[in-house]
């Protein structure tokens, strides 16, 4: 493996941005202070920016507690996580044995190893929970599932050393961002059609009320001089929501799973929305107004 490719996302995640990170990087502000990613998932953009040495400080967050615990364990208990994964066998019996464990009764490294194992060996790398918040994805048949990947996990652990990790809802980003920071929002998408399934990322739904709250937050952040980039589906709902002078709307074609199993794929257009013009150069004024 080419070591320049490390670190890369260690989880497969619905809506992962691996395929369009180059477009997002091309759309980033030229210069920014702290990078925030409040809908972290597998963190494809964060890892790309880290590899390219484009970030100094980052705050990464998500509402999914098991996900954030996993990042924390890799950052702080890398050796323990690796040791556990090395000893886990790939079998259906072991999958169901570990799946039925309550993460709350496990240590942080055990929770992380369980999450990685289930993600890599479960059906199509889905993260899905039932109404009681219990992971309920069935066993998947993989030829060589790569849950034991010490090289990448070591690189991930290194990348996370100076990173602030938070388990929190996206709106709290208002309290911790400062003028000149950059926020990448990658929320659960507005469905393409009424019948399309809305992927379940957590026991909390993400409907129109949350999409509208996110837009209000983007307006407030713009007033404060904070750069935002936002991904969402190319739907008239999203276009209408962001058709305001503050925002620039661009589109990109991407191969997407269009059913919840990820078996049906086609090229669909997605939106990349920013609150700064394309070739934006930071104004020296931002440096003067930033609180220290």
Ligand X SMILES: C[S@@+](CC[C@H](N)C(=O)[O-])C[C@H]1O[C@@H](n2cnc3c(N)ncnc32)[C@H](O)[C@@H]1O
Cβ 172 to ligand X, closest distance in Å? 8
**41 within 8 A of 68, measured Cβ to Cβ:** no
Burial, 259: exposed, middle or buried (Cβ in 10 Å; 0-12, 13-18, 19+)? Answer: exposed
Residues 147-206 interacting with ligand X (rule: CB under 6 A):
169-170, 186-188, 201-202, 204, 206
**126 within 8 A of 142, measured Cβ to Cβ:** no
Binding track, positions 87-126, relative to ligand X; x by CB under 6 A: ----------------------------------------
Task: Please pick, from the candidates 49, 50, 58, 64, the single residue that binds ligand X as defined by CB under 6 A.
Answer: 64
In the bound state with ligand X, the residue whose beta carbon lies nearer, of 150 and 187, is: 187
SS3 207: coil
**260-290: b or e for each residue (b if 16 or more CB lie within 10 Å)?**
bebeeeeebebbbbbbbeeebebeeebeeee
Task: Please pick, from the candidates 20, 63, 73, 226, the single residue that binds ligand X as defined by CB under 6 A.
Answer: 63
Hunting for tokens 């219990």 — which residue is that?
A: 134
Distance of CA 151 to the CA centre of its chain: 21
**Residue 42 contacts ligand X per CB under 6 A:** yes
Task: Please pick, from the candidates 35, 39, 95, 242, the single residue that binds ligand X as defined by CB under 6 A.
Answer: 39
In the bound state with ligand X, the residue whose beta carbon lies nearer, of 91 and 208, is: 208
In the bound state with ligand X, the residue whose beta carbon lies nearer, of 138 and 207, is: 207
CB contact set of 63 (below 8 Å; sequence gap of 6+): 167, 168, 169, 170, 201, 202, 204
In the bound state with ligand X, the residue whose beta carbon lies nearer, of 9 and 225, is: 9
Task: Please pick, from the candidates 7, 38, 125, 180, the single residue that binds ligand X as defined by CB under 6 A.
Answer: 38
In the bound state with ligand X, the residue whose beta carbon lies nearer, of 39 and 50, is: 39
In the Cβ-directed half-sphere of 12, how many Cα atoms lie within 13 Å? 17
**Which residue stretch of 28-36, 59-67, 116-124, 215-223 sits at the interface with ligand X (rule: CB under 6 A)?**
59-67
- Per CB under 6 A, residues contacting ligand X are 13, 15-17, 38-39, 41-44, 62-64, 169-170, 186-188, 201-202, 204, 206
């Amino acid at each position: 493996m080419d070591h320049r490719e490390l670190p890369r996302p260690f989880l497969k995640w619905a809506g992962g941005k691996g395929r369009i990170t180059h477009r997002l990087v091309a759309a980033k502000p030229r210069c920014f202070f702290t990078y925030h990613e409040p809908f972290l998932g597998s963190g494809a953009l964060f890892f790309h920016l880290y590899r390219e040495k484009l970030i100094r400080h980052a705050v990464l967050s998500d509402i999914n507690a098991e996900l954030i615990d996993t990042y924390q364990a890799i950052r702080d208990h890398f050796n323990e996580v690796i040791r556990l994964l090395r000893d886990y066998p790939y079998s259906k019996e072991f999958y169901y044995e570990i799946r039925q464990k309550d993460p709350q009764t496990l240590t942080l490294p055990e929770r992380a190893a369980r999450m990685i194992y289930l993600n890599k060996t479960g059906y199509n790398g889905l993260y899905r929970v039932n109404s009681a918040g219990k992971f309920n994805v069935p066993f998947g048949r993989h030829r060589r599932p790569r849950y034991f990947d010490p090289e990448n996990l070591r690189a991930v652990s290194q990348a996370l050393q100076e990173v602030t990790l938070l388990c929190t809802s996206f709106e709290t980003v208002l309290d911790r961002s400062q003028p000149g920071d950059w926020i990448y929002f990658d929320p659960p998408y507005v469905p393409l059609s009424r019948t399309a399934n809305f992927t379940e990322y957590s026991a909390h739904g993400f409907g129109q009320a949350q999409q509208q709250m996110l837009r209000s937050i983007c307006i407030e952040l713009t007033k404060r001089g904070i750069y935002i980039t936002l991904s969402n589906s190319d739907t008239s709902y999203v276009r209408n929501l962001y058709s305001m002078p503050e925002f620039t709307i661009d589109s990109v074609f991407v191969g997407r799973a269009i059913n919840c199993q990820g078996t049906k794929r086609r090229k669909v257009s997605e939106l990349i929305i920013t609150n700064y013009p394309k070739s934006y150069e930071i104004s020296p004024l931002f440096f003067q107004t930033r609180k220290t």
